[in-house]
Structure 1
Amino acid sequence: MARRVKSLLRRWSSRVFSVELDEAPLSFGIQAAQRGGRPPGFFAELGEQDRCYSLLVSGRDAARRAQFSAQLREQLLRELPPGCDLAAMSSHLPDAEDSLIKGYFIKGNTENSSRIEGLLKDIEQQESVLVCSYTGEDGQQWTQHLWSREQSKKMEMMVKFYVVPSESSICHPSSLNTANYDVFHSFEEAYDVLKKNVDVSPEARSVLEMFPSTVKAGRKPDFPVIAIEGLDATGKTTLTESLRDTLGATLLRSPPQCLSRWRAHFDQQPALIRRAFYALGNYVTEEQIGQEGMKTPVIVDRFWHSTAAYAIATAVSGPACNLPQEGSEVYRWPGDLLQPSLVVLLTLNPQERERRLRNRGQKITDEEQELDHNQFFRLRVEEAYRRISGPPCVVVDASPSADLVLQQVLLLIRAKCHL
């Protein structure tokens, strides 16, 4: 086995396992000794005919791990027999940093178990994948069997563990390491992720050809830089164009137009790779700000706040209280990225935003569709916006008329930017 897998197995029985069901991680633990009592969580609802399996993806290289995890999900959706349920899952050591590994949980039954196990045996040969099966005993006790691959490539079962209840972690499992949020705090971090993807992605190669391998901090613009943030249909386009005309400013957008040809491709990539693309887009926009900000004020339609807020909200499930605490490093502004003079966050109640989206009739991204269907996700995005520091957002209610919103934002700009 790979070194990474061996290190994970040393404390295997101490790990907490979480299955993402209905926007909430349902956790369980394992132990070597049997004990009585009701099975934990969803295991109590399973019957003797049910069979469950888990796959956890290991590996030190985050970019390759993300790519393989996405491919694995597609393979499972394509090849699992009918009647199977697939959910995201993770495993971690309680409150131990850099211990989180992610994967998938499969629920099947005795009729399709042989087909599932045949598929999992093939998958286990591909990468550092830890495969477990779960079976019920006496209608009460559930056991976990960790599969082992010997040098002969023959699959065997290791010593079984008994599934037991687990105490809830102090924080969401993703909070154990800021790297789990796919947030980049420097140009080099984002660049390196796409660089590791160029062998399988011509699009990644094309994007990187636009950049040097490092960036240097540019001169601070002579004029103020105002970033306008918010969910789709909150009035960003109307406001930014009005500010441009009123202030005689330059209007820029992130991601910039020069990256638009690749946006559809990266929107379909794993979260880590998608976020790296958008993070690099901020550095293109920064260069444009440096040029235009010497001549006029600059209005930016979305910037780093959007890139980070969506990444953080995607990494966590459930209510907004599962987000990293305020002051966490994950909310820190990148040290090598220009900070705007002012960041305005437009907010709107869900009903009005949905009405505006319908009236626009435009195609929206998968993430924007998720905002409409998943209240928890929308609230996490909005709260993540508010927690980002350096600079923080100034919240403006976008429900009044466009003229009233414009006047309110102009007052903010004149007070904070002296325009």
Structure 2
Amino acid sequence: MARRTMSLLPHWSSRIFSVELDGASHYFAIQEKHRGEEVPRVFRKLPDHDRCYSLLVCSGDRIRGAKVYGELKDKLLRLLSPECDLSPMSSFLPNVKDSLVKGYFFKGSSGSCSPTERLLRDFAQRDPVLVCSYLRGEDGQLWTQHLWPHAESQLMDVSKEYYVVPSEAPDHHPSTLNLVNSDVFYSFEEAYEVLKKCGDIIPEAKSVLELLPSRVEARSKPASPVIVIEGLDATGKTTLTQSLRDALRAVLLQSPPQCMSPWRARFDREPPLIRRAFYALGNYFTAETIAQQSMETPVIIDRFWHSTAAYAIATAVSGPLCNLPDEGSEVYRWPSDLLQPSLVVLLTLHPEERKKRLRNRGQGKTEEEQELDHNRLFRLRVEEVYRRISGPACITVDASPSADQVLQQVLLLIRGKCHL
């Protein structure tokens, strides 16, 4: 932890802190002198408490940091009292890429000998976690932040106290600072390296890597047309892809490929960095098969990189659509070493009609599908990211008509764009 913690400290007073509370992001900053600023909103919501805490995961090893962050929530929920009200938290330098560190914020009981503080002292000694306490002043208004010492960071100046003051919200959600090659991967090497480093702690990672080459060459355009069908569940992707396969005498593929299915449930339990690397490599494995199959016949793909990126970005960036990176941002660009399809069709459907189809299917839902159903903003973010991805961009097709009408519309697109 020491290296990452020490890199934070010279810029500590310049960092912004964000707490996710009641479905909204609350931002605050710190400074050495108080100039009459009001109390930040997140602290105004704590009238019955005079002490709060934050834990930020600051490992120099991002694999270990991702694992610790993923396990930290379970530990805290198990060990803290329910009254603590655990909330996601982050700290970042405005507009500085890769400056985001994530953690948790919660209310605590008074007294340095409380069970909470004994627990946190244990975290500070063993884990790559930077602990801060927040104390309400005697006047009942001002709040101060106090850094805790860590066993591996004896040079930290923990004698300082910082006043907590309001901060303006950044232009975009702070998670956008760390999206590239963390939530979304833009090269085979970046994703491969993550799973390679996981080999000692996740045995299944070695099995996945045995399926893949150690590197891939940048792919030129496929020999025959390659058509990707994207869309949320129950928009008719399976029916359409099978109909296109028959109509065009094409090969039908999916991403991740069937050979990686035995490990999907295992990697779905991992933190985003590791989970997203697994799915990114699934796209590259599919691309190898596409390159081979397209030498002889057209290829239809049930979801590809668009889905991987859309769900990852929409999960990492919470809140309204304005929190997403601007259109044209690098996060929407197609990976330069991943084979580009000839055409990408995005099936869309009115939310109520999609829910009706899901109920009629009666199948179990993935965690992300459950999120789509109860979180309207998440669904809107997924759909918007689909629309913003470029190189190639999606062509939207209304999936509400009959399956045959949708098929005929897509065949017209294919004949116009791919000359089939």
Q: TM-score, normalised by structure 1?
A: 0.95
Q: Does 1:212 align with 2:241?
A: no
Instruction: Give secondary structure in 1 for the equivalent of 2:33.
Output: coil
CA contact (8 A) 2:20 2:88 kept: yes
Q: What is the rounded CA distance, in whole Å, between the counterparts of 1:151 and 1:221 in structure 2?
A: 52
- Aligned CA-pair RMSD: 2.1
SS in 1 for 2:243: helix
CA contact (8 A) 2:3 2:60 kept: no
Instruction: Provide the aligned length of Structure 1 versus Structure 2.
Output: 418
> 2:25 is paired with a residue of what secondary structure?
strand
Q: Deviations over 1:352-395 (max 9, x none)?
A: 11111111111121111111111111111111111111100001
- 1:111 Cα shift? 8.7
Aligned to 1:170, the other structure's residue is in SS state: coil
Give the match for residue 313 of structure 1.
314
Task: Return closer, same or farther for 1:151/1:303 CA change in 2, 3 Å cut-off.
Answer: closer
User: Where in structure 2 are the equivalents of 1:9-408 lying within 5 Å?
Assistant: 9-110=9-110, 114-137=114-137, 138-149=139-150, 158-179=159-180, 182-217=183-218, 220-408=221-409
- For residue 405 of structure 1, what is the amino acid of its counterpart? V
Q: CA deviation at 1:161?
A: 1.0
Q: Aligned-pair distance for 1:38? A: 3.2
Q: Conserved in 2, the CA contact under 8 Å of 1:18 and 1:90?
A: yes
Q: Kindly provide the CA deviation profile for residues 19-52 of structure 1, in whole angstroms up to 9, marking residues without a partner as x.
A: 1124432101111113435311121121243531
The residue type paired with residue 21 of structure 1 is: L
Contact 2:222 2:339 in 1 (8 A): no
**Offset of 1:326 from its aligned partner?**
1.1
Query: Retained in 1: the 8 A contact 2:109–2:116?
Result: no
User: Using the alignment, how far apart are the partners of 2:414 and 2:152 within structure 1?
Assistant: 67
Check if 1:2 corresponds to 2:17.
Answer: no
Of 227-236 and 76-85, the range deviating more from structure 2: 76-85
**Relative to 1, partners in 2 of residues 1:115 and 1:156: Cα closer, same or farther, differing over 3 Å?**
farther
Give the gaps of 5 or more residues in structure 1.
none
Give the match's secondary structure for 1:227. Answer: strand
Distance (whole Å) between structure 1 residues aligned to residue 242 and residue 103 of structure 2? 44
Q: CA deviation at 1:108?
A: 3.0
DSSP 3-state at the match of 1:199 = coil
Q: Secondary structure at the match of 1:133?
A: strand
Q: Secondary structure at the match of 1:149?
A: coil
SS of residue paired to 1:148:
coil
Aligned CA distance change for structure 1 residues 174 and 409 (closer, same or farther; 3 Å): same
Distance in 2 of aligned mates of 1:150 and 1:278: 37
How far apart in 2 are the matches of 1:22 and 1:371? 19
Following superposition, the deviation at residue 113 of structure 1 comes to: 7.9
Q: Distance in 2 between matches of 1:12 and 1:129?
A: 15
Q: Secondary structure at the match of 1:285?
A: helix
Q: Helix, strand or coil: the match of 2:131? A: strand
Shift of 1:76: 1.2
